[in-house]
Amino acid sequence: MEIIEKIKTNKSYNNLTEIQKICLHKLQSSPLPNPKSELWRLSNKSKLSTFLDYSVNEKDSKFDIPYPKNSQSIIRLIIGENCQIKLNEKNYSIHQLSEDELQKYIKEQISFFKQNENWSDLLNLSLSCKNNILGLKINGSKIPPIEIFSHASINSLKAKTLVIFLEKNCDVELLQVNLGKENSSLSQSTFFCLKENSSLNHGVVSYGENRSNLLNSLNVIQQKNSAYNLGSLHFKFNYARFEISIKQAEGNAKTNIKGMQITKKDEQISTYTKIEFNGPNGFLDQINKSLADDKSHAIFEGSIIVPKIAQRTDASQLSRNLLLSNLAQIDTKPQLEIIADDVKCKHGATISQLNEEELFYMRTRGVTLTEASKLQLSSYFQEIISFIPISKQKWDLLDKLLNDN
Amino acid sequence: MVNENLVKDVVKEPYKYGFVTDIETEKIEKGLNEDIIKLISQKKEEPQFLLDFRLKAFKKWQKMKEPDWAALGYKKIDYQDIIYYSAPKQKEKISSLDEVDPKLLETFDKLGIPLTEQKKLTNVAVDAVFDSVSIATTFREELAEHGVIFCSISEAVKNHADLIEKYLGTVVPASDNYFAALNSAVFSDGSFVYIPKGVTCPMDLSSYFRINSGDSGQFERTLIIAEELSSVSYLEGCTAPMFDTNTLHAAVVELIALDDASIKYSTVQNWYAGDEEGIGGIFNFVTKRGKCLGKRSKISWSQVETGSAITWKYPSCLLLGEESVGEFYSVALTNNLQQADTGTKMIHIGPKTKSTIVSKGISAGKSKNSYRGLVKMGRKATGSRNYSQCDSMLIGDQASANTFPYIKSQQPNSEIEHEASTCRISEDQLFYLQSRGIEFEEAVSMMVSGFCRDVFNQLPMEFAAEADKLLALKLEGSVG
């Protein structure tokens, strides 16, 4: 519980906000994962400890956005940079949530937190100060694309929180970029609330530099007839953990997830997803891809929970993994927990290396081995990247990934 | 629209092996401590190494915690409230079956296990275990002609102590898990099989476990050793009477296959499952593991799990030898308040090893049926392959089906494939069958049978028939 002491000594306890106090208190009763519980989640506790090695620092260092703004219409926000936004256009409006609204919502969310499950959110909320919490309420249609950046600072631990309400019938495209810095830790917690008939195309791109750590938690609540599409990409982190929790509050909603993690050197990146169907006619299509090279370790754990009320749920989950080195490791655990009987649920998992027959075919056609591997990898990446709402002209992620290889 | 009540009726079937044999038994007092262990060892006239093995295991067990990770909920077991040794009273030494208490023979007769000479027509040798001791082993002379040793483990301890000392606890060490440690400390009987080099066992071997008393646990231990180029098919069956208390069954099975050897181990588990309210039934905590030590060796597990209130069982294969093969075929049927957490572990250590997992779960009533499996490719398992398939069928909206596969790979030059699906009895198929004049009950039965076919095909003839009959019985009911 060093981290709790750290937070307490860093600021005097009385200066903390009410939410920070509640979270600290909760953290004490539901502690951080221990080596054994991490083992069950297939990951390694020592890596998590490196995340907590840095001290909490509220001041942001200078931040360079990785690519230029595509067009003037894009709404770009950087968490922590005192961004004020109030847009009232003909078709849509974007407002910042008032202090009270934010407090009320976060408190409500905390009350739903389960013991031992939401420690990363509790940690985030107990660390993130007022400036690092961004709350938005979005209403209307024809909304220009939104980009939200979170970034770490060298030699410190930062926590940033994002809360977004999507009002009824609202349709949004949102790209979230989390950037790690050298020797840094970033805790990012995101809360989405999708009202009826709303739709969100959400992209998450997270990458770091040398020795960066990331704890990324995403909580989504979907009301009836809402659609949530997530394309995510995590790479270049010493330690990264992406925890996704999606709740279809009344069923009758659609969720599509396409995620990918790429690990090299001695990195460890894990994705944990938990999708709960609390009503009938829910739909889920999920694919998670991992690629592990060198001495790295990639982990995926996905659980689909279908209680009795969730009749006629149609859920599928696929974990596809590429293991490229003798010293790398991939662990995957797709889980189904089903009580309803009239459901269609399936999952699948594969772990292999690049397809040798395909490589051979390309080589017989005069393509070099390096080129052929690149081609295969690009098709492997492309499926996920094409699902992330970004403009290709300005930021070619595929190119970035392939050339990094 | 399928009438769900009809389907529920169809899967109801009274337990027909629930009778108690009224026989005088010799029991030791309840409780577990070093003296009890010494007493068991003394009763069985065991050599010192085995007593040491037991006491060491007991010390380890005392330091261990009961596992709580399985998706099972059951009331706490009071390990001091169990009788660890119970045996039917009989004459000192039995030289032939004629001297076995006729009541015991009658019991096994009723269970469909022929022990008496005139009924030994089927070509299966049987070792019958009643509570804590082995009653009889048939066809011993015929087997001995081929050099096959098939006897109770207590006899093996006396007559083949070298083999026991060499192999006991090498596959499932005493410290492996809580229940294996308990078994290592108090195991009473079980079967021992040794197939010498180059011998294909001339007949199927089988052991039949019967729990008779309500307050004693059953802790049997089975050890099968297949030498180079040998092969054996082993069948295991179990039943217990109906008591309103829970009885503990914690067994350990160890298989060892050397170069080019093959072992096929089939189980039809039909312990008493408790009544509709979940009262009574066997708590079944079993550790089964096979070691493919030799090159090109093969271990195949097939199981039909229909009984027990609680099932905690993961028959596994350690694939050490080059090109060794592990297989797991399972059907688990749960009804009423039964809970099953079962699956397998395939640990690929040697190169070019292969494993196949086919698991079919059927949950009805308010039962809970979980598949939990581990597939692991070690760093040296180049060119290894695994294929897993786990299907669940749900009958009624109160039952639950879970799938927890753990897949770990450290070897890029290996392939793992896993797929799982959950569905319910297809209305279209049911309608089609009924429209062709097939009774509802038979149609459901046919569909369940078809669902399990991949597994039934793997069972030996005698068992396939029994398993099919067992499922049909469970599905037979009040319709029509």
pLDDT tens for each residue of A142-158 = 899 999 999 998 888 88
Helices (H), A170-233: none
Helix and strand numbers, DSSP H then E, in chain A: 9, 19
How many angstroms separate the first and last alpha carbons of chain A?
A: 38
What is the 8-class DSSP label of residue B30? B
Q: Is the pTM of this model over 0.95?
A: no
Give the CA angle between residues A268, A272, A277 to the nearest 5°: 170
Say if A376 is an interface residue toward chain B (CB within 8 Å). Answer: no
**What DSSP letter does each residue of B181-228 carry, written as one string?**
HHHHHH----EEEEE-TTPBPSSEEEEEEE---SSB-B--EEEEEE-T
Q: How far apart are CA B219 and CA B282, in angstroms?
A: 12
Average pLDDT, chain A: 88
Name the residue with higher pLDDT: B263 or B218.
B263
Average pLDDT over residues A44-48: 81
| Among the partner residues A328, A344, A351, nearest to B416 by beta-carbon distance | A351
Across residues B222-251, what is the average pLDDT?
88
- Cβ–Cβ contact A270 with B under 8 A: no
Q: What is the pLDDT of residues A341-373, one digit of tens each?
A: 889 899 999 999 998 899 999 999 999 999 999
Chain A: give the shortest CA distance to residue B415, in Å: 5
B307 near A CB under 8 A: no
Put simply, the answer to whether A338 touches B420 (Cβ < 8 Å) is no
- The complex's ipTM works out to 0.84
Residue B264 reports pLDDT greater than 90: yes
Tell me which residue in A42, A308, A350 faces B416 most closely, judged by beta carbons.
A350
- B200 or A82, higher pLDDT: B200
**Chain A residues touching B385 at Cβ < 8 A:** none
Nearest in space to B252 (alpha carbons), one of B352, B345, B178: B178
Task: Check pLDDT > 90 for residue A228.
Answer: yes
pLDDT of residue B114: 64
What letter represents residue A142's amino acid?
A: K
Please say whether the beta carbons of B371 and B339 come within 8 A. no
Within an 8 Å CB–CB cutoff, is residue B399 touching chain A?
A: yes
Tokens of A248: 């279809």
The yes-or-no verdict on residue A405 having pLDDT over 60 is no
SS3 B9: helix
Beta bridge partners of B128: B136, B208
Statement: residue A136 has pLDDT above 50:
yes
Residues 8-67 of A with CB under 8 A from B: 40, 42
Is 60 exceeded by the pLDDT of residue B92?
no
State residue B456's pLDDT score.
Answer: 82
pLDDT tens digits, A87-103: 888 889 998 888 888 88
Predicted confidence (pLDDT) per residue in A154-212, tens digit: 888 889 999 999 999 999 999 999 999 888 999 999 999 999 999 999 999 999 988 89
Among A76-90, B327-341, B347-361, which range has the highest average pLDDT?
B347-361
Q: Are residues A96 and A85 in contact, defined by beta-carbon separation less than 8 angstroms?
A: yes
Total number of residues shown for chain B: 480
Quick check: B394 contacting A, CB < 8 Å?
A: yes
- Of A308, A327, A338, which has the smallest distance from its Cβ to B422's Cβ? A338
pLDDT tens-place string over residues B45-82: 899 999 999 999 999 999 999 988 888 888 888 999 88
Q: For residue B402, with 0-12 CB atoms within 10 Å meaning exposed, 13-18 middle and 19 or more buried, which class applies?
A: buried
Task: Check B420 against A346: CB less than 8 A apart.
Answer: yes
For B405, which of A323, A327, A333 is closest by C-beta distance?
Answer: A333
pLDDT digits (tens, 9 = 90+) for B381-394: 999 999 999 999 98
Query: Which residues share a beta bridge with B370?
Result: B341, B402
State how far the alpha carbon of A398 is from the alpha carbons of A404, B18, B156, B193, B239, in Å.
Answer: 10, 66, 66, 60, 61
Can you give the three-state secondary structure of A171-188, one letter per residue?
Answer: EEEEEEEEECCCCEEEEE
Taking CB atoms and an 8 Å cutoff, what residues of chain B touch A325? 412
B319-328, B332-341, B471-480 — which one is most confidently predicted on average?
Answer: B319-328
Cβ neighbors of A100 (< 8 A, separation 6 or more) are none
pLDDT of residue B36: 92
Interface touch B417/A348, C-beta < 8 Å:
yes
Confidence of residue B96 (pLDDT cuts 50, 70, 90): low
Asked if the Cβ–Cβ distance from B402 to A349 is below 8 Å, we say no
Residue pointed to by tokens 């250590």: B349
pLDDT given for residue B444 in this prediction: 82
Which pLDDT band holds residue B107 (cuts at 50, 70, 90)?
A: confident
Which of B382, B391, B407, B416 best tests the A interface by mutation, with the highest count of A CBs <10 A? Answer: B407
Q: Does A345 touch chain B (CB under 8 A)?
A: yes
Region A287-312: what's the mean pLDDT? Answer: 94
- Calculate the CA dihedral of residues A78, A84, A89, A95 and round it to 10 degrees: 90
Residue B356 sits at the chain A interface (C-beta within 8 Å): no
- For residue B478, the model assigns a pLDDT of 25
CA atoms of A265 and A237, how far apart (whole Å): 10
C-alpha–C-alpha distance, residues A41 and A43, integer Å: 6
pLDDT in tens, B435-480: 999 988 788 888 888 888 888 888 776 666 666 666 666 554 322 2
What pLDDT is recorded for position B177?
93
* DSSP E strands, A102-248: 133-140, 146-151, 157-166, 171-179, 184-194, 199-207, 212-222, 227-235, 239-248
| Mean pLDDT on A122-129 | 86
